Every structure is written in structure tokens, then in C-alpha cells.
Structure 1
Amino acid sequence: MVRGLLSRDVDPREVSDAVLADGLVAGDVACVAEVYRRWSPLVRGLAQRALGDRFEAEDVMQQVFLAAWRGRSGYRRQLGPPAAWLTGIARHRVADALAARGRRAALFEAAVARHDGMVARGDGMGQVVERVTLSQELARLPSTQRTVLRLTFYEDLTQPQIAERTGWPLGTVKSHARRGMRRLGGRLGAAADPD
């Protein structure tokens, strides 16, 4: 950043908008600070009226001044005063914030619709808890029994299909399935009955 368009004995609050704009473009620290002090209430107010949220308006205001700093070389004094330039940036940032709000609302609505669809299918929270419990109990089984039961439950394979996929004899698959189910039933029963 540059320091020098404003001399040390000049009060930045008494400098014209044109000099401040030139200082902003040049990166003068005192000018940048005065531009922020002078026009941040305008930008914040515009954002708050449009968004209706103080915190979101504060974010937009910060984005506006960051964009002004980064794009300062694009400012043209002949096209209007700094306040108009900052207001234009603010309108774009507000539009971006409103669009983001709309996207968040659409995502929320989609999540609600999906949840409602799951509930309508009987796929509610109780079943989610049951699935988590089942997964935890499956993880505690010996690997061979776990493999057979996961292929049965999650991939909907028959025992002959499991034997073909794993290369194990059909009798071995049946034994692992039977022992796994017995163990799983015992553990799930114990988990359901805390006494």
C-alpha cells in the first residue's frame, strides 16, 4: 500500500471525495480507511434493508469493501462518485447473497421432501437407529459370519450366490449364516432388553 496522497497534517475527514477516490485507486492507507469510515454506513444500511439480517448485511459490507480494494484499479471517477461505485458493488453482493439464500432454501426444501418421503415409506428415525445398531453388531461378528450376513442383508444374495461369489462350499455358507444369525439375534436381543 502507498502512503502519501494525504499529508500528515491533513484531516482525512476534510478531503474531497475525488481525492479519496484517487487515494483508494493508488492504495493510500489513509484514503482507504477514510473511504471505509465515510461509506460503510451507507453500504451496511443498503444491505440490511435488502437482506433484513444485520449479520448477513455486515458480511456483505465486508465483501463490498474487499471487492472495492481488489478492484480499485477499475474505478473511473468520470463515471460517478465513490459512493455510487460502492453502491453498485453492494447491489451485486446483495444479489449474490439473495441467490445464495435461495439456493440454501431449495436445498433445505429438498432435504425436507426427502425426509418426508423416507417417513412416508416407513423409513423414519427409528429405522435409522435400527440400521446403525445392526451395523454395529454386524461389525462385532467374526469376519466370515459378517461377510455372509452382509451379502445376505445388503446385497440381497441367496446362499448359493454367496457361495459362488466367495468360493466357499454351500454348506460352509449355510453354517456361517446360521451361527451369525444366532449370535446377532442374541446381541440385538440383549441390546433391546437392558435388564
Structure 2
Amino acid sequence: MRAEEQVEAVVVDDIAERLRDGSREALEEAYARWASLVHTLAVRSLGNHHDAEDVTQQVFVSAWNSRHTLRPDKGTVPGWLVGITRHKVADVHAKRARLARDAQAVAENTLPDESAPPPDDLLATRLVLHDELERLGEPRGTIVRMAFLEDRTHDEIAERLAMPLGTVKSHVRRGLLHLRTRLEEVDRDPS
């Protein structure tokens, strides 16, 4: 091992020990050294910089909260962070898959039934509602669909989407306000 590599190994071990002992400065050093590694891995897997930024933050929060599991004698800090990153990225992929399944199920249940066309005014309302639910974006559109089309409670939605209950309630309230405003506009505009 070259002298530079030996010095680097000593620095990494020092960061690991201080981080495990609860040093916030060590966490800052770890972030400064390896946040770009975590972010790059997340971007490559997720294909989205916003999601990668969220994952990067989650990785370092998780590293801090689970610092007692860090074993410098069994691996390096960057290797440990890569492991946490893989778990967080897998969580995002699983969440995306759940949201896609939920959105597909809702879309299948909210699209007009071609075999028995509803009255024109009901059809227009259903089409506007379907379009506006799409415009709500994620996760708000999924949350509103789950609350009103699947008749799920706020607690069930929070548990299913692994979100805080208050966040779910806020999304439902804001989503409903948006839908009400938009449907009132459609009702007023006869064209």
C-alpha cells in the first residue's frame, strides 16, 4: 500500500470511529467526502436528480441514526454508505411500483365504461375529474384516488404509502380544493 493510501485509510478509519461515537463533525466530513458518490449511485439507478437528492439526504440521516452499526474493522465508511444507498434506492423503486399499480387500478376504475355510455354531462365530469386527478401529480393524485375512489382511510393511506398522517391529510385537503375549484369552473363554462 502506498503512503498516500495508508494516510487515506487512517483518515477514513478516524471518521468511522468518530461517527460511531456520535461526532456531528465526522458526519459533516463523511457528507463532504461521499455525498457525491451516494448521489451518483442514486441518479444512475433512479434516473431523476430530485429523487437522487432525496435519497442522498435519507442516506446520511439513516447513517447518523444507525451509526452504532458501523464496524470499521469489517468495512469502510464509503462501503457502508453504499449499502445504505442501495436500500434507500430499492425503497424508491418499490414505492414507484406501488404508485404505478395504484394509479393503473384507479385509471381502470375511473375511465368511462364504453359498453354503456353515461349521459353527456356525467361523461364530461368524469373525463374532467380523471384529467384533473392526473394533473394533481404525485403523490397527491394517488392519495386522493385512494381516499375517494378506493374509499381508504387516511391512516390506511399513510401506512400503505409510508407517509406521515399529517402529510396525507394535507394532500387530501389541497387535492379536494383543487378539484372543487376546477369542477366549478367546468360547470360555469358551457363550452
Class of the TM-score when normalised by the shorter of the 2 chains: 0.5 to 0.7
CA gap 1:32/1:110 in 2 versus in 1, 3 angstroms: same
- Secondary structure of the corresponding residue to residue 77 of structure 1: coil
Counterpart for residue 44 of structure 1: 39
Contact 2:59 2:84 in 1 (8 A): yes
* 1:55 correspondence with 2:50: yes
Q: Give distance in 2, aligned partners of 1:19 and 1:35.
A: 11
* 1:89 correspondence with 2:84: yes
Larger Rg: 1
1:110 to 94, 99, 105: 105
Counterpart for residue 35 of structure 1: 30
Deviation at 1:126, TM superposition (A): 2.7
Q: Give distance in 1, aligned partners of 2:65 and 2:82.
A: 16
* 1:65 correspondence with 2:60: yes
Deviates more, 1:109-118 or 1:23-32: 109-118
Identity %: 36
Q: Give distance in 2, aligned partners of 1:120 and 1:53.
A: 40
CA gap 1:57/1:124 in 2 versus in 1, 3 angstroms: farther
Q: Give distance in 1, aligned partners of 2:119 and 2:106.
A: 14
Matched residue count: 122
Which residues in structure 2 correspond to 1:141-180 (within 5 Å)? none
1:99-151: CA deviations, max 9, x gaps? 000001111111111122546543488317779xxxxxxxxxxxxxxxxxxxx
Q: Give distance in 1, aligned partners of 2:125 and 2:52.
A: 44
Q: TM-score, normalised by structure 1?
A: 0.56
1:5-40: CA deviations, max 9, x gaps? xxxxxxxx9970000011111111221110011110
Q: Give distance in 1, aligned partners of 2:32 and 2:120.
A: 52
CA gap 1:124/1:82 in 2 versus in 1, 3 angstroms: farther
| Aligned partner letter, 1:43 | V
The alignment yields a C-alpha RMSD, in angstroms, of 2.9
Contact 1:118 1:124 in 2 (8 A): no
Q: TM-score, normalised by structure 2?
A: 0.57
Q: Give distance in 2, aligned partners of 1:125 and 1:107.
A: 28
Unaligned runs of 5+ in 1: 1-12, 132-190
